[in-house]
Amino acid sequence: MSWLSTLAHDAEIAVFAAVGQHGLGLTETLGRQRGVRLVSSPRHARVLLVAGEVESAQARALERLHAQIPPPRGTVWWQAPRLFERGETVIGDDPGEAIRRAAGADDPEQRPDVPPHPWRGMGPHGQGGHGMMGGNPYGRPMAMTADDIRDGLTLDAYSARFGPFLPALPPGLVLDLTMQGDVIVSAAAASPPYPQGPEGDAPTLCAARMLRLMGIGPRAAHARGALMALPKGSGMRRRLAAWLRGETVTESPAPPPNALPGREWAEAVLWLASFPPSRLRAVCPEEAA
């Protein structure tokens, strides 16, 4: 395998960026960094880059993310205080060197190796469950039926905490969602998005983020097609059009717990991305959870 290693030596370093406070602008500059590639899932990454300060309340989430990067893995704290004792801290504007060094690191996992619920050896087949739906097969219970808000079929509801570092959501926003299929049935904001400063609301950045969710680059947006692709009636088109013209958007959204239920996932994500982070932050209660 030595030729494989030789070939891999000059490969781009796959980086998963966990964006913290004032980190959105920082992350955008990474696109110009040579030899570094931003990826959308920690599974694809080699290095965890924490861009901007993350509150210690969310250290657990960061550690989980860190654990999900397959080993060997490295960590870089970019303009962020360390939350665990691994990785290098970068104060300046260029984390390139630190990322390259982290690509040779081998951080141990920060979380204890225990399943979410004990299950081994329990149940009739040792799978941890009992009966049809009971117990914790393989460490987790199964989803149970609940009422649906749209078509009246009582099928299983999936409840989970999404964020704060899910690339599709505004950084820092933690949503406790219950979903049926890909439609959100109920939502609660456990933590508001991080403050991003004025650069977070810059039209070009906001437009680029939204267009990225639609699978195109900012250059393709000159075609009106990008606007036509958005659903009518929720103001998304209006706001994206304003951003593309270079105007700032000052509209405030309805609080996500009221606005998200009933929306399908892609629509919900686009809706959240169609507001400037500062406005979204203003309508989410501080420290609700």
Within positions 128 to 157, which residues make up the interface with another protein, using CB under 8 A? 129-135, 137-145, 147-157
**Identity of the residue, 125 or 245, whose beta carbon is nearer to another protein in the bound complex:** 125
**Identity of the residue, 225 or 246, whose beta carbon is nearer to another protein in the bound complex:** 225
Site for another protein in 156-185 (CB under 8 A): 156-169, 174, 179-183
Pick the binder of another protein from 93, 104, 111, 199 (CB under 8 A): 111
Q: Shortest Cβ distance from residue 201 to another protein (Å)?
A: 21
55 binds another protein per the rule CB under 8 A: no
CB within 8 A of 263, min separation 6: which ones? 183, 184, 271
120 binds another protein per the rule CB under 8 A: no
114 binds another protein per the rule CB under 8 A: yes
264 binds another protein per the rule CB under 8 A: yes
56 binds another protein per the rule CB under 8 A: no
Look-up: residue for tokens 């861009």? Answer: 51
CB within 8 A of 249, min separation 6: which ones? 201, 203, 206, 239, 242, 243, 275, 276, 279
Pick the binder of another protein from 92, 125, 245, 286 (CB under 8 A): 125
116 binds another protein per the rule CB under 8 A: yes
Q: How far is CA 241 from CA 137, 224, 230, in A?
A: 49, 9, 11
Look-up: residue for tokens 């059009």? Answer: 241
- Backbone torsions φ then ψ of 122, nearest 5 degrees: -90, 160
- List, edge to edge, every strand of the sheet that includes 36-38: 36-38, 13-19, 47-51, 74-78, 88-90
289 binds another protein per the rule CB under 8 A: no
Look-up: residue for tokens 């040779």? Answer: 104
Q: Shortest Cβ distance from residue 156 to another protein (Å)?
A: 4
231 binds another protein per the rule CB under 8 A: yes
**Identity of the residue, 250 or 266, whose beta carbon is nearer to another protein in the bound complex:** 266
Tokens of 275: 């507001």
Site for another protein in 3-22 (CB under 8 A): 4-5, 7-12, 14, 18
Sign, CA dihedral 67-73-74-77, equals negative
Site for another protein in 72-101 (CB under 8 A): none
